[in-house]
Amino acid sequence: MKIPVDLRRAKSLHFEFGGTVDAETKEALLSILAGEKTEHLKSRKKSAPRTEDPSIEMWRERVEKERAANSLKFGAIGVVANTSNETAVLSVNASKACIVLRASFTRATLRELESLNENGKIKWNDKDEVMELNPTLLPQVKLILKNNYKDVNVLSVQKQVKATKFDLLFNKLDSDDKKKIYALLARKHHPDLGGNKDTMALVNSVFKGGD
């Protein structure tokens, strides 16, 4: 049997024939049909909608929740247009163990501060209208403030004076030791015994009354 058309161009044609089909023709027809099936599968793959991995969607939802939880919520903070002529004040709240920032804010400054806000390290105190910062953020916050304000006023707390060797020794003395030393110094420095009035006043301030 002869087919009067080129099989390579006959992929979209339908053949109706009777009789016996020789092996060569049969093989050619099967090859064409196999090609059509392959093209059909390719087109299905292209048109099939992509389904996103559920774990990715869950991750996105978690990120959005964390971002919302950490947000400084611009609506709760007074926003101004410009702070280039203003002063930001940083101080320490010892009871809360945090740095307190008192200032006016632009939206740009708030966004910069919000970028540091991980795990609730920055909080807005509605009552006092101040921002409370984790002390670990101080270097980064000072840099942001320096770039956005005319001046940054840092109110530091008074540092505790390191104990001297005299303080350490004095704290180890018992009541009898202190009385004996006081009596010895009083005999030497009391004004009635030829001593100096100011020195005796200092001795009294250290020893008098005291355990």
pLDDT in tens, 15-34: 444 555 566 666 666 666 55
Residues 157-181, mean pLDDT to the nearest whole number: 76
* Whether the predicted pLDDT of 197 surpasses 70: yes
Residues 6+ apart with CB under 8 A from 146: 152
Assess contact for 113 and 72: CB atoms under 8 A. yes
What pLDDT is attached to residue 141?
93
Residues 195 and 189: their CA atoms lie apart, in Å, by: 4
Residues 195 and 211: their CA atoms lie apart, in Å, by: 25
* Whether the predicted pLDDT of 208 surpasses 80: no
Please state the separation of Cα 42 from the chain's center in Å.
Answer: 48
Least confident of 82-86, 162-166, 182-186: 162-166
Mean pLDDT (the chain, rounded)? 75
What pLDDT is attached to residue 115?
87
pLDDT tens column, 42-77 = 555 555 555 556 667 776 777 666 655 555 554 456
Would you say the pTM of this structure is higher than 0.85? no
Assess contact for 100 and 92: CB atoms under 8 A. yes
Q: Which residue has the higher pLDDT, 61 or 138?
A: 138
Q: Which residue has the higher pLDDT, 171 or 146?
A: 146
